Amino acid sequence: MSHDKPIDISRLAAGGPAVGGYHLRPEGFEPPVKVVTRDVNHLGESVYLFEIAKGLGLTMGHVLKNLFGGLVGFGAIRTIGYPEQKREIPEGWRGKHRLTTREDGSSKCVACMMCATACPAECIHIIPAESENPDIERYPDRFDIDLLECVFCGMCVEACPVDAIRMDSGVYSLTAFDRESFLVTKEELMQVKADPFVAGKTY
Amino acid sequence: MQHWLDPAIIIARNLLIIVVVLNIVPFLVWLERKGSAFIQDRPGPERAAVGPFRVLGLLHVLADAIKMMTKEDIIPSTVNRFYYLAAPVIVVAIAFTTVAVIPFWDTIDFPRNGEPGWPVIGGQLLNLDVGILWFFAIASLTVYGIIFAGWSSNNKFSLLGAMRASAAVLSYEIPLGLSVIGALMIYSTVSLPEIVRWQGVHTWGIFLQPLGALIFIVCAFAETNRVPFDLAESESELVAGYHTEYSAMKFGMFFLAEYGAMIVSSCLFVTLFLGGWQVPFLTTAELIAIAKPLVVYSLGAAFFVSLILAALLMVNFTANAGRWKDWRDLEPAIWAVVVIGGGITALAAMFFLLAIDPPNWFAPAFAGLAQFGMFLAKVLFLCWIFVWVRWTLPRFRYDQVMNLGWRSLLPLALVNILLTGLAITVLNI
């Protein structure tokens, strides 16, 4: 079917015979449209009382359930008392970044700039330096992530060829009193620990 | 009979009533928060704590009061200062003045030295024969406070809120007054204590005047500017309505007045339609006669209730173990101990009462307190209905409110008067 002419929507809905030379609907086709009329003069509703009683019954049901359920510890309330109780984060959840380390404690990062290139938010800032170890060649002199710009997409983790950056820390509450604190350095990123549950999957 | 102690007794009685009524307000604020939370499947206030005690969030109200008192109180430079400052005073004063004519218990007298009738303690602050008329006269003055607040604030939202509030209050005053007339025709008196006594002898007003009671409570919602008729402060349209420009305790006074109006409306409804201080099936004389066994049984029942409550609290304690990971986890257990302690005290009091012959003042005092308690229970139930309705219904549109008031409630109230009059004439009551 060609769409070189704009289709008249109103005739389409009405199941008209031909639009732009084409039969969009077979003759006699009734479109599956349910027409709903508002019965505003329905007595039971216009008196309000019965509807109000129904509504009151509904809310009272919640109150009783939560009152007696809450007293003995079960009810419909699913609220989490946040600072003390924390939501269980799912496996593979992307939290604050961390830099993995070699056995000697240095960062695995070889400053290849893959993560910085992959980053859509351009929040990774790496200054590479030449390593004295001939097996490593490059290492990041500085590796800063601006967490305020980060969108937590995980592209850096995907891009890293040496598994140097991961987002399996499980840290989701990133709070500070000033902006500078969100600019985390290589040393800080190496301090971040992996969350054993989150680390169960790839990220 | 005059006695040199009479003024002191009257002052003590008045203080008791005023303090109790004023203290319903914070309780209602708590009820509103907790009730709305439970309706919406939330836990509600539960943070403010003194040590491990959070008392189901009651301490939040205390924190609120401290906050209101200590906040910066801003008076905008463009307001008309006199009316701006007068408005909250008027609103609060009137809300609580109307409590004066509400009878809280039957007049009780204490027999002394075989000579009956001293002291005689009436159940209301002001025993007026025109009780209910005085109530309506004073209650309708509230609208001055609202108009002063809205007009003097020099703010279009305040003004609109005040206009709406005054329109709603004036419109609903008429069906409110008319809805009562049917009941007054049956009681043949406007004295509130007499109305309550009549209901004790016959039956509660709500069974005789269901339509009147319904119109009354709907109008009471509108009079107190509560949802579904809270278009005076409809916060989605008018910021906060007539008290937009008020801060700190001046706002707090409007807040107080709103709940005060709720309480006095509930008091009046209870007095007119729910038998006032009447304990169901028990007259004052009967209460005095069976005071001792009733107290004994109640104390015994209190002991068993405390056992059940303590068991529930212990279930709560185990179910919520480790929830907070600090001393708040212990709170249900501590309360369980307190409740058990109270139960044992009640049991001890029961045995003590069984062993002694209670003094003469015991039975009348108990009757008065029981009636006071029953009255407060009824009022709190009514207040709960206010809260319940508020968190169930959406707000009416302004024209819907006017339609309902003028074209439904007013004719209904007139029909109610007509039917009541016919019934009285035909049945010759």
Encode pLDDT of A91-150 as tens digits.
778 888 888 888 888 888 888 899 999 999 999 999 998 888 888 888 888 899 999 999
What span, in angstroms and rounded, lies between the C-alpha atoms of B97 and B136? 11
Query: pLDDT tens-digit profile of B99-110?
Result: 888 888 888 877
Q: Search chain B and give the residue with CA nearest A60.
A: B39
What span, in angstroms and rounded, lies between the C-alpha atoms of B411 and B128? 31
pLDDT greater at residue A75 or residue B376: B376
Location of structure tokens 């709903």: A36
Contacts of A52 in chain B (CB under 8 A): 389, 392-393
Query: pLDDT tens-digit profile of B233-250?
Result: 777 777 777 888 888 888
Distance from CA of B385 to the nearest CA of A (A): 9
Q: Search chain B and give the residue with CA nearest A77.
A: B41
User: Is the predicted pLDDT of residue B415 greater than 90, yes or no?
Assistant: yes
Instruction: Count how many pairs of residues, chain A against chain B, have C-beta atoms within 8 Å.
Output: 59
User: Is the predicted pLDDT of residue B143 greater than 80, yes or no?
Assistant: yes
Least confident of A83-97, A159-173, B105-119: B105-119
Burial of residue B149 (number of CB atoms within 10 Å: 0-12, 13-18, 19+): buried
If interface means Cβ-Cβ distance under 8 Å, which residues of chain B face chain A? 35, 37-43, 46, 214, 312-313, 315-316, 318-320, 323-326, 388-389, 391-393
Which of B31, B32, B38, B403 to mutate to probe the A interface, most A CBs <10 Å? B38
CB–CB contact A59 B318 (8 Å) = no
Distance from CA of B183 to the nearest CA of A (A): 22
Distance from CA of B190 to the nearest CA of A (A): 30
What span, in angstroms and rounded, lies between the C-alpha atoms of A139 and A104? 14
Distance from CA of B281 to the nearest CA of A (A): 28
CB–CB contact A79 B42 (8 Å) = yes
The CA-based dihedral angle spanning residues A34, A39, A45, A47, taken in that order and rounded to the nearest 10 degrees = 180
A162: Cα separation from own chain's centroid: 27
* Those residues with Cβ within 8 angstroms of residue A92's Cβ, 6 or more apart along the chain or in another chain: A168, A198, A200, A201, A202, A203
A144 phi, psi to nearest 5 deg: -110, 140
Task: State percent of chain B over pLDDT 70.
Answer: 97
Q: Under DSSP, is residue B426 helix (H, G, I), strand (E, B) or coil?
A: helix
CB–CB contact A73 B319 (8 Å) = yes
Per-residue tokens: B182: 């049917």
Q: Between B38, B319, B326, which is nearest A63 by CB?
A: B38
If interface means Cβ-Cβ distance under 8 Å, which residues of chain A face chain B? 49, 52, 55-56, 58-60, 62-63, 66-67, 70-74, 76-79, 81, 84-85
Contacts of A67 in chain B (CB under 8 A): 38
Query: pLDDT band at residue B355, thresholds of 50, 70 and 90?
Result: confident
Q: Which residue, among B428, B424, B426, has the nearest Cα to B208 in the 3D structure? A: B424
Q: Which residue, among B235, B225, B253, B233, has the nearest Cα to B85 in the 3D structure? A: B253
A92 phi, psi to nearest 5 deg: 75, 15
Q: Search chain B and give the residue with CA nearest A76.
A: B41
β-sheet bridge partners, residue B121: B108
Q: Which whole number is the average pLDDT over A5-24?
A: 52
Q: Which whole number is the average pLDDT over A17-34?
A: 63
Amino acid at B147: I
Query: pLDDT tens-digit profile of B277-313?
Result: 888 888 877 888 788 888 888 888 999 999 998 888 8
CB–CB contact A59 B320 (8 Å) = no
- Tell me the Ramachandran region of residue B362: left when phi exceeds 0, alpha when psi lies from -120 to 50, beta otherwise: alpha
Contacts of B37 in chain A (CB under 8 A): 66
B215: Cα separation from own chain's centroid: 19
* Those residues with Cβ within 8 angstroms of residue A192's Cβ, 6 or more apart along the chain or in another chain: A96, A97, A98, A99, A169, A171
Which of A66, A82, A85 to mutate to probe the B interface, most B CBs <10 Å? A66
Q: Which residue, among A97, A106, A69, has the nearest Cα to A171 in the 3D structure? A: A97
Per-residue tokens: A18: 């031909």
CB–CB contact B315 A56 (8 Å) = no
Are B158 and B244 within 8 A, CB to CB?
Answer: yes
Are A145 and A184 within 8 A, CB to CB?
Answer: yes
Query: pLDDT band at residue B119, thresholds of 50, 70 and 90?
Result: confident
Contacts of B391 in chain A (CB under 8 A): 59
Which of B31, B41, B305 to mutate to probe the A interface, most A CBs <10 Å? B41
Are B124 and B104 within 8 A, CB to CB?
Answer: yes
Is there a cis peptide before residue B228, judged by omega within 30 degrees of 0? yes
CB–CB contact A72 B319 (8 Å) = yes
Q: Under DSSP, is residue A179 helix (H, G, I), strand (E, B) or coil?
A: helix
Query: pLDDT band at residue B329, thresholds of 50, 70 and 90?
Result: confident
Q: Which residue, among A137, A156, A136, has the nearest Cα to A145 in the 3D structure? A: A156
Helix (H), strand (E) at residue B36: helix B6-39
Location of structure tokens 């005095």: B288
What span, in angstroms and rounded, lies between the C-alpha atoms of A91 and A65? 33
Contacts of A81 in chain B (CB under 8 A): 43, 46, 323-324
Q: Search chain A and give the residue with CA nearest B384.
A: A60
Contacts of B40 in chain A (CB under 8 A): 62
Are B61 and B139 within 8 A, CB to CB?
Answer: no
Helix (H), strand (E) at residue B67: helix B59-70
Per-residue pLDDT at A117: 92
A100 phi, psi to nearest 5 deg: -75, 160
Distance from CA of B153 to the nearest CA of A (A): 36
ipTM score: 0.78
Per-residue pLDDT at A41: 64
User: Is the predicted pLDDT of residue B30 greater than 80, yes or no?
Assistant: yes
B74 phi, psi to nearest 5 deg: -100, 130
Are A171 and A95 within 8 A, CB to CB?
Answer: yes
DSSP state string for B268-290: HHHHHHS-TTPBTTB-HHHHHHT
DSSP state string for B216-263: HHHHHHHHTT-TTS-TTS-HHHHTTGGGTT--HHHHHHHHHHHHHHHH
Query: pLDDT band at residue A3, thresholds of 50, 70 and 90?
Result: very low
What span, in angstroms and rounded, lies between the C-alpha atoms of B239 and B399? 20
Distance from CA of A57 to the nearest CA of B (A): 9
- The conformation of residue A88, written as its DSSP 8-state character, comes to P
Amino acid at A121: A
Per-residue tokens: B361: 């003042």
Per-residue pLDDT at B223: 83
The radius of gyration of chain A from alpha carbons, rounded to an integer in Å, stands at 30
pLDDT greater at residue A30 or residue B377: B377
Are B273 and B206 within 8 A, CB to CB?
Answer: yes
pLDDT greater at residue A51 or residue B238: A51
Contacts of B30 in chain A (CB under 8 A): none
Burial of residue B324 (number of CB atoms within 10 Å: 0-12, 13-18, 19+): middle
CB–CB contact B319 A77 (8 Å) = no
Contacts of A78 in chain B (CB under 8 A): 41
Distance from CA of B44 to the nearest CA of A (A): 10
Query: pLDDT tens-digit profile of A54-100?
Result: 899 999 988 888 887 766 656 677 777 787 777 777 777 888 888 88
What span, in angstroms and rounded, lies between the C-alpha atoms of B254 and B422? 43
User: Is the predicted pLDDT of residue B9 greater than 60, yes or no?
Assistant: yes
Q: Which residue, among B244, B253, B248, B242, has the nearest Cα to B73 in the 3D structure? A: B248
Q: Between B320, B326, B388, which is nearest A59 by CB?
A: B388
Contacts of A51 in chain B (CB under 8 A): none
Location of structure tokens 């707090």: B252
Say how many Å lie between the first and final Cα of chain B, rounded. 37
pTM of the model: 0.79
Q: Between A59, A62, A79, which is nearest B43 by CB?
A: A79
The CA-based dihedral angle spanning residues B12, B18, B19, B21, taken in that order and rounded to the nearest 10 degrees = 140
